[in-house]
Amino acid sequence: MKYISTRGGITPVKFRDAVMMGLATDGGLLLPETFPLITNETLKSWQNLSYQELAFEIISLFADDIPPNDLKRLINASYSTFENPEITPIIRKNGVYILELFHGPTFAFKDVALQLLGNLFSYLLKESGEKMNILGATSGDTGSAAIYGVRGKANINIFILHPHGKTSKIQELQMTTVPDSNVFNIAAEGTFDHCQNIVKKLFGDIPFKKKYSLGAVNSINWARVLAQVVYYFYAWLKVTKESSKEILFSVPTGNFGDIFAGYVAKRMGLPIKKLILATNENNILTRMVNSGDYSIGKVVSTISPSMDIQVASNFERYLYYLFGESPEKIKAAFDNFGKTGKLEFSEAELAQVQKDFLSLSVTQSETRKTIALFYKETGYILDPHTAVGVNAAIKAKQDGEDIICLATAHPAKFGDAVKQAIGREPDIPAQLKKLESLPQRSEKMAADPEKVRAYIEKHAI
């Protein structure tokens, strides 16, 4: 399997090169040349596989340049850190299914992808004899999941900038209590935007990037999307007993990575009727799906902060297919977007979008009500991101339809928002509770790219 760029400017590369490249060198996003098709027969034969076995079946179709036994070992290592033997267990509450994706080390769904990405990096670097310095900015969730993905691994150092005092206490503890010597937390005196701009600036300095082999872990890495494809299949296999039953998935969406993985599963032949694209007040994608209006608004802070995003970086991957796999059309559209802050769609394109997706934007007050109602009726506590998806699913549900809602974080990670909704904080898992007593390590620094650069130069591997 080879990988191409949405912008058409690279010679097709192997899986291993796609993983190391992250963003394509022409500024586009990497995609597989084709999607392997999964028949009903194959699906049936997968019915009794464990999560890890299923992950191997799916990932090996896309990563055929990694020897099967090595890939198996990497997958097994990646999910050995999950505290639930099913990895992503599924439960039924109030007429919908909840797919719990938060049983990894940092209690959010990003672990499913970043545990694997960390192991892939480490494996590929060992083979090539190279080293890598990962640099990233986080508003909370991605940073801790990335740190847990590569902590203690040879040939990798990781530098994560977070805005000092502006993440939740638990998120800060998750990042700063990791004792491994390859982990460097930078607490920047500024906002998340400052952090992100610093990272962008340093990545834009090509000699610096080359000299220190800077690597990225953001959600545009193809391996992250691929790891997430697995749980759509896993959930479908758990829920449907008839071989071709179509179901819906409801996905709380920020950067469009998670829901794009669902789209990949659908293109591979998994019987998905539609993907429900759930947004909070940052609703550019909902406006796009419902009326073709893709125009940037201002980012609003909400109780589901990991979805407070306007321009979804993975959306370009979907647009590539919507535009008939034409790099020229993608380039023209994004040139225009750079100038006007808008993308335009034809009626035929909008009709296609509405075949693939159904979208709802959920307000914070609706989100709190959903958490409260769910708790009252079932005793189950939803985190605010998951609640956005559940609210959308309940509104969209028609008689007899099965909907699987992706639960993207453990409620204890967002205790304040949960308390606003139900009047009490969720129980805190022991692994999170014990972080309070651990020593913290971070470097407080002015939000200045030159300070960060000097710090990296001093501590790079």
Which is it for strands 96-100 and 90-93: parallel, antiparallel or unpaired? Answer: antiparallel
What is the smallest separation between the CB atom of 220 and ligand PLP, expressed in angstroms?
Answer: 10
Q: Compare residues 71 and 417 and give the one whose CB is closer to ligand PLP.
A: 417
C-alpha to C-alpha distances, 40 to 110, 111, 226, 239, nearest whole angstrom: 29, 29, 21, 15
CA distance linking residue 451 with residue 310, whole number of Å: 29
User: Scanning residues 304 to 363, which ones bind ligand PLP (CB under 6 A)?
Assistant: 306-307
Verify binding: residue 279, ligand PLP, rule CB under 6 A. Answer: no
Query: Taking CB under 6 A as the rule, which mask of x and - marks residues 122-151 in contact with ligand PLP?
Result: -------------------x----------
Centroid of chain to Cα 28: 18
User: Scanning residues 180 to 239, which ones bind ligand PLP (CB under 6 A)?
Assistant: 219
Angle at which helix 141-150 crosses helix 169-176, to 10 degrees, equals: 20
Which residues, 6 or more positions from 241, have their beta carbon under 8 angstroms from its beta carbon? none
CA distance linking residue 233 with residue 237, whole number of Å: 6
Least Cα distance to 50 among 97, 82, 25 occurs for: 82
Q: Compare residues 13 and 405 and give the one whose CB is closer to ligand PLP.
A: 405
458 is catalytic: no
Catalytic pick among 14, 110, 126, 395: 110
Which is it for strands 272-279 and 247-252: parallel, antiparallel or unpaired? Answer: parallel
Task: Count CB neighbours of 379 within 10 A.
Answer: 8
Taking CB under 6 A as the binding criterion, the range among 11-19, 84-92, 129-137, 253-261 that sits at the site for ligand PLP is 253-261
What is the smallest separation between the CB atom of 225 and ligand PLP, expressed in angstroms?
Answer: 9
What is the smallest separation between the CB atom of 334 and ligand PLP, expressed in angstroms?
Answer: 19
What is the smallest separation between the CB atom of 384 and ligand PLP, expressed in angstroms?
Answer: 8
CB 201 within 8 A of CB 446: no
Choose which of 215, 254, 262, 411 interacts with ligand PLP (CB under 6 A). 254
Query: Taking CB under 6 A as the rule, which mask of x and - marks residues 87-116 in contact with ligand PLP?
Result: ---------------------x-x------
The size of the interface with ligand PLP (CB under 6 A), counted in residues, is: 16
Choose which of 104, 136, 190, 257 interacts with ligand PLP (CB under 6 A). 257
Task: Count CB neighbours of 442 within 10 A.
Answer: 17
Taking CB under 6 A as the binding criterion, the range among 184-192, 197-205, 247-255, 326-334 that sits at the site for ligand PLP is 247-255
Q: Compare residues 392 and 456 and give the one whose CB is closer to ligand PLP.
A: 392
Query: Taking CB under 6 A as the rule, which mask of x and - marks residues 385-414 in contact with ligand PLP?
Result: x----------------------xx-----
Helix residue spans in 205-256 (DSSP H): 206-211, 222-239
| CA dihedral angle for residue 8, residue 13, residue 17, residue 22, rounded to 10 degrees | 20
Query: What positions carry a catalytic annotation?
Result: 110
